[in-house]
Amino acid sequence: MLKLKVKFLDMEAEKPIIVLNEEDAGELGAYPLDRLQMKFDRKSVTTVLNTTKKLVKPGYVGVSQDIQELGIKRGEQVKIFPTVRPKSIEYIKKKMKGQELKKNEISTIIDDINDGNLTGLELGAYISAVYTQGLTMEEVIAATERMIALGKKFDWGKRMVVDKHSIGGIPSNIVTPIVVSIVSSLGLTFPKTSSRAITSPSGTADTMEVFCKVAFTASELKRIVKKTNACFVWGGAIDLAPADDKIIKAEYPLSIDPEGQVLASVMAKKKAMGSNILVVDIPFGHESKVENLEQAEKLAKKFKILGEKLKIKTECAITRGNQPIGKGIGPVLECMDVLSVLNGDGPTDLREKSLVLAGMLIKLAKKGDIRTAEKILDSKEALKKFKEIIRVQGGDPDMNLEDLLGKHTKTFNASAHGEIITIHNKQISKIARRAGAPKDKGAGIYLHVKLGERVGKGERLFTIYAEKEHKLNSAIELVKELNPLVIGSKEKVLVEKL
């Protein structure tokens, strides 16, 4: 044990970090990335060690900002102890070997993730093990139940609570605001929480933030739903299954999304939100998360098994994911698509997919079917409900969206006549992000064509929008590298090098 004085360091970290002079670390017998326990003012925190020769003098301990926020005082004397490794590390190694984990072993791992007891490397090892070895349904159920237990849970009484989720991977696909508006018009409770984009041009929360505030507390969410039957809220502020949020954050740098974790993640949050009816959208295609129909059907079966275990009536919509849904890609452009569909116009594929998903939810709730959904949409009842929710969330549904579009644009035209045979989802997403989406709300791509359409030489293919000229130029350069659309044959590139 060492008694050291606190020095504040201007550094942020995902978990508490302390910095010791190499002399003090050597006296303690500790090495970089070791866990150490720090005790002060009847508090105790598990930290990760970093060492230095000059930044911190002997006799002092440098602490990161998250430790400072616990109420520790500059110059305060604290005690530093070595601590044992979490039990979950042995269970992670067991999973790395392909062995099935017991319920208590999975629970211990989830607990340590939730409590911040694992380093980034250890959490990465767990995610990699799940990715390479997979999870059995028993392991998925155990992980799901534990994540639910550790987070906030909503109770809506005896009300029928519906929800919709897409496993993602498709640019735009902004069906959620339309589905919520249709279904909640029937009086069904639809507390919709959504994510922000990490690698896509816009998450649902990013898109809806164009219209209104999306970050609310749990009590504020309940107030909105009480007034309107529904909401459009960013899930990151509500503390639903917080262990899952930490896992997701660690997955992104690895660019992996293990199936078992997807199942546990989706269903834990739906159960925590109090949902008892759920439709899961599973897009499949050459650049989707699910590559083919067979894989999509297997995943759908697993969602249903898990839904039955959690007492959530679950159905899956297996949908085509070989091109963007709608024409606008980026927050403002997607808002324009949503409003156009709610007004009775808009991209046909966005309208049809929204009606299918809304119809499935309505049928599961025994309130009608797709014809009911179509009637609500065509009567403008869904538009009325959409505007009501936006206003309650402090927004303006009648704003002029065109004024928000990026003023720097570039339209690409067909270099030859023929048929659009490929639209590369991932490349379109990269270009839209390079233009500034989703941080720049007015940035993105508008598609003038869809798969199967014939174009003549010189006709418009897509337009890039950017709020800053240098971002537009960067996006244009990326188009030249990627060539995101193909015409006529796989050998004939639609957008030639410029």
- For the annotated catalytic residues, the residue numbers are 257
- Rounded CA-CA distance 51/61 in Å is 10
Residue 94 in tokens: 């067991």
- Rounded CA-CA distance 447/450 in Å is 7
The dihedral through the CA atoms of 458, 460, 461, 464 has a sign that is positive
DSSP string, 416-431: S-EEEEEE-HHHHHHH
Helices 259-272 & 242-254 angle (0-180, nearest 10):
150
Helices 120-133 & 103-114 angle (0-180, nearest 10):
140
Exposed e or buried b per residue across 466-491, where buried means at least 16 C-beta atoms within 10 angstroms of its C-beta: bbeeebbeebbebbeebbbbbbbeee
- Phi and psi of 399, rounded to 5°? -65, 155
- Rounded CA-CA distance 42/59 in Å is 21
The amino acid present at 485, given as its one-letter code, is: L
3-state helix, strand, coil in the chain (%, to 5): 40, 20, 35
